[in-house]
Amino acid sequence: MKKLLIFLLLAGFIPACTPLIKPAIENAPIPTPAQTQTLIPTSRRWWQDAVFYEIFVRSFYDGNGDGIGDLNGITQKLDYLKDLGITALWLMPIYPSPSYHGYDVTNNFNINPQYGTLDDLKNLLNEAHKCGIHVILDLVLNHTSDQNPLFINSNNDLQSPDRDWYIWSDTNPGTLGPLGVAWFPGNHGFYYGVFGANMPDLNYRNPAVTAEMDKVVSFWLKDIGVDGFRLDAINYLVEEGQKQVNTQSTHDWLKGFYTTYKADNPDAFTVGEVFGSDAALAATYTGDQVDMIFNFEMASSFINSAKGQTNSAIDSALTFSKQDMPSWQFATFLTNHDQNRTMSVLNGSIDKAKVAAFLLLTSPGTPFIYYGEEIGMEGEKPDPAIRLPMQWTTGNNAGFTTGTPWEALGPNYQTANVVTESADPGSLLLFYKTMITIRANNPVLRSGALTVLSTGNSGLYAALRVENGAVVLVLANLTGDPVRFYALSGGDSALGEGAYHPMSILGSGPFSDVTVTGGNFSNYQPLTTLPAYGKYILEFKR
């Protein structure tokens, strides 16, 4: 009976968040003690304690058998997401578009018919909210499709009221963008498209453009009921002469945007993409323009320390992030839809993938997980190869569709899939679930102060998290060899004097006590030997 129910769940026939019988992943052994759920302080906003899951809708789950993932497919998989511990979704663009990726939008007020209808989205929102899951949409502010009716009018008619919606020049200025040429010949002059000819930039010096985007935001927040937006490429919004990115004009525009969307819904959330940003750059956008910015420096540090098996990257990123943005109000991740997948970067090493997940989910910031990352999906550019169908089963089309998948399956779906890993207590999927559960049940890991500790060994990462009397040591052997020679030193001024006994949240002991003097400790070894890739979370008790 259990096997039948698991099959039905994965096939999408069980209603979302059904309380009847737990799926197999719920019953699989989890190598951590049970935790007591702690209520989130009311002063914190929902996104500060969320774990987000980024979904490329086309590739997540096909609900109607046409080979293309859709909104109803996501609704049918809400049980899986809730069981994993996900509390918020980011849906990549769902609007009508001529491209497979959807970042060139032809209509900001509707749904790509391949993905469903507005009613399908409303149903997904309703069911997700029942599961305690928020939903945000990708919002493409910088540009539209060249097939958008507004651009067609702008391009065809010099007298069109839509002409000034885009950026035109009688001659070619020759300015380059991040992808090369940024000015393209139109029917009457040259238009600016920093990301390519098929994505002409909107002209935010025209008040009508801002007014229209205000309507777009209000429609999705108030009429449809989404919980916020991921804002694409916001550092390119308003150019100042030859300066394309991070202009004062862009910051000024976003301040008005912030006021507008908070007026529509004070509890709405925005996270902005500023490619390559660190905490210092994120701080220039956060608080009065967007709620958060993705911290690319932190993402690189998680991957580089896991891959290189050294603490230099993570120690440096945490130190600078603490210095530049002590509130830690940024979004963290490993890789996303624009980057080679984590498992491919780590050369297929599940041990290193677990280390990367451990660093992500024990660090400050709001974590975002790219769909399939939790099962170790592989993929390297070009872009379609890093956005392949989700791997649910070992069966036909990896359980993604009963039809023909829009893109070929990933190379490792026979071993890296939800069914197989749900039954394996040592799997990457179960490790992700364990870490998300631990993070949810221990507020200190979400909002506690952080101090990077000296370890005396470059292959060892250690940090102390402290909040409201809770003191937690995060410790990881980044290497594939046992570590015997190390000494933890440092601490936090909030630590009281005296002896502390470590209690395990993650990892097996017994562990040595530690004595704190002046808020610090030195030459501490909780274990004589740390096994290869050993990972520990220890709460200090007096």
Residues acting as catalytic residues: 232, 273
Structure tokens at 277: 């940003």
DSSP 410: P
Residue 178's Cα: distance from chain center in Å?
A: 23
Residue type, 189: G
Residue with tokens 């379609």: 384
Task: Output the CA angle 241-244-246, nearest 5 degrees.
Answer: 115
373: left (phi over 0), alpha (psi -120 to 50) or beta: alpha
Distance CA 279, CA 322 (A): 8
Buried b (16+ CB within 10 A) or exposed e, 465-492: bbbeebbbbbbbbbbeeebeebebebbb
User: What are φ and ψ of residue 350, in 5° steps?
Assistant: -65, -35
User: What are φ and ψ of residue 425, in 5° steps?
Assistant: -65, -15
Buried b (16+ CB within 10 A) or exposed e, 380-411: eeeeebbbbbbbbbeeebbbbbeeebbbebbe
H-helix or E-strand containing 80? helix 78-84
Residue 308: closest CA among 366, 361, 347: 347
Are 339 and 276 within 8 A, CB to CB? Answer: no
Task: Output the CA angle 155-159-164, nearest 5 degrees.
Answer: 60
Structure tokens at 81: 């997401």
Beta bridge partners of 373: none
